[in-house]
Structure 1
């Protein structure tokens, strides 16, 4: 009789532990899941936009970056500023409050990816910010002249080092 009572208690404890682990895994998965959307898609999401973790991509509008330490506010445009569609492109105001400053490649017209939530105030609240290198680093199109500058040799490096050039004493 005692052994069946102990087995029942152990079975209940194991079920509670496994249920708790399953619930924690499920809720952790749901909270870490984020949807990738463009600025145009964000505008059409409705109430779902306010309830989801999102990843929004666009181009940093020139002159819109306001930085105060690690806090940055800027505007994302769905088109680069030199694109003829840019003046008519959708714009999203982004407020980034992260533990690290934005990357060095985060500049005017750079392609940026903001991860966070969309607020009812019309601002995207990002907790993570990524920036791609500017398009000037991309390889040229076939048939266009190469825009890359030739590399100049480093004057501090030479084929003979001072140690190798010094006479040795026997």
Structure 2
């Protein structure tokens, strides 16, 4: 075992990009180390407090899904690549109809030639609405709005809202801050 410690002053406040670049880039970049596994990472509370955190949390998700007093049950749509928009929406419907509270797009699903984002959003929301009608429960789908530009991401998020989505997702590696 090896313990590596850094002073908090070496990191920009609230910057996940800076923190991960230091850990992943520097620590895992040691050429002298042939095999390295990160088993634990302890971040001082004072540094954690510099992060804004998400605008909403699990309480808001529970309110939107009207699910309290039990675990939320969700999954990622699989297969993640290769389905048409219509078949993807069918998987969303079947998963939600089968008892899931929500489904989410895989991070690899963006807007590929076999399934463009707008088509996927429409069929996903159709599946969400059909499953909600069939079960009498509120259902959800995290639509991946990740794109190559921030303008495209806003366009996708606004479109998702326009067709009834109350939640979207952005890939973690988009830039963090």
TM class by shorter chain equals under 0.3
Rg: which structure is higher?
A: 1
TM-score of the aligned structures, taking structure 2 as reference length: 0.23
Choose between structure 1 and 2: higher helix proportion: 2
Choose between structure 1 and 2: higher strand proportion: 1
Q: Which structure is higher in RCO with an 8 Å CA cutoff and minimum separation 6?
A: 2
TM-score of the aligned structures, taking structure 1 as reference length: 0.24
